[in-house]
Structure 1
């Protein structure tokens, strides 16, 4: 009996001393993509996840949480535990456009998130199916002028850059194309492939394999200069200099995650992005990997919020 009391007393004394906190990370990290599979950030997330996991010493689990143009997944990360085990890999159409497009997106892009890492940027490409009469930008503009409002183009959804680029081209070229929104880039491309819609704006990574395989015709891209991944494709800006828009991909953490955890993730991403195999895969998808420091990512986000707010207002697009 006396021995049992000693043992119980020893166990109780251990309970008075909390176990030392395990170093971060000690379990898998969720990398949330707030869009469906097949889009730019989904492609990027799956390309970097293995190397990112090796660099930080934990499994990186890519989780697609689509809905409401990216708002649902973004909200979920903003409300997640501030422990660094839930991160957001997003694009500027969700982070910089949705606050202007939706009356209540459910998140504050500045106050709910910490800019963690900028990965790269890529243009959109205007595509048509093989055999289409729309082979050049001049073909598209001529057809749209001949029959205003009849020529249609698909996008990844209302308020996405792929939607707004069409609105910008309408303004720049003085034409009126009809916008057809889809729930993501993959179904939009599928309907162009199937001939249900004649044109689509799609991010270069999501369309490049189809273009190389001859399943889509590339008409023009939306960057200021031609892409090194497909230099044969002309830019829209060569004809309409003010019609420029790219998608950038970046990682954010919920506001409140400790500075130490942020630094560990940034160091791991630095290591990931110096790997030749990772850079080769990303550039092959059409990404420009010019670095943007975390502090400047915050500045870039603020600039983009202002830019796209003006474009959204001019387009008249608004969602509840």
Structure 2
């Protein structure tokens, strides 16, 4: 069954604390408080406590050493263990049933919907086996089993709902933290992160990476002559053009600050230049700005053609941008191929 761990660090800590607590509990309740019981039982309990301790330490110190299937198996194995202990002790009181809350909360917090449903079903079946086996009154057993099943299902529903809500809030916060509030494209933080990732991928033999740097020509004059509201509309028009123009490969459009934009594009020099010229033409066709369509100066550099590192790629793209400005602005310039 496919699964995804939500917050593996938190899941590892949860399992570690459970195992360490189980080791202490087992040592005290099954060994120290029962010194006089048959030696075989004491040794078995001591070995179990040692096993719990070992797993807890591994989860705490080296969680990645455990197999991937360990994490979704934890609540199912825990449920079976609790059921086995309750069955062996013939204990149908409420206290031992509360131990079922741990695998339930673990599943609802860190695993997906279907594994949570499976955990609830296994808890229901396990408690039912104990209740119907050792409760003298069948009606009482049925009522007890139904109450535990409903309580566990409702708890899982509430916890899973809260988890989903928190996940959506985190996604919104992450999107806000990585996007420019004015234009909706990525901000510098997101750009720097994606630039480093993309360059690493290209260095491993992937497609070439083009860095396209864009400046709005005489943007200060737009703000001074037509007001900041018009300047903001001009920036949004540029961002929309860079985002809407078809690209030959994956791209990330970012506003780095002020009137400076950048585009990361999976393309070679010729394809990047065609993209840049289409974007300039799209901006030039804007008709709803009182200041007229803004003009763009664009610099283009490609890894590995013009640079080898992210820092060098940025430096060479900026040099190409300045070259476009020196030629008279309103045009694109491609960096010189590295020797």
TM-score of the two chains, using structure 2 as the length reference: 0.21
The structure where strand makes up a greater share of residues is: 1
Which structure has the greater CA radius of gyration? 2
Bigger relative contact order, structure 1 or 2, given CA contacts below 8 A and separation 6+? 1
